[in-house]
Amino acid sequence: MATYSCEKCGMAVNATCAKCDKPLVNDSIDKPDGSSVQVSKCPEGHGKIKSPMCCGEDMSCSI
């Protein structure tokens, strides 16, 4: 399961898919400008979300 944590305050979150209750997994998507965005996605293909935010910044997740 992808665990996102805040580098500033130490807050951490885990997430599951509301449709199948499976843990979301860490992934990234490539943008047209060549940069990438970290996301969490359902392993069953129900969708993906952008990484959560805390203290005004994206929380990080080790791949």
Whole-structure pTM value: 0.72
Tell me what pLDDT residue 62 has: 67
Residue 61, judged by CB atoms within 10 A of its CB (0-12, 13-18, 19+), counts as buried
Domain boundaries, the chain: 3-54
What averages of pLDDT result for each successive group of 10 residues across the chain (63 residues)?
A: 86 91 91 92 94 86 66
Task: Provide the β-strand partners of residue 40.
Answer: 26, 49
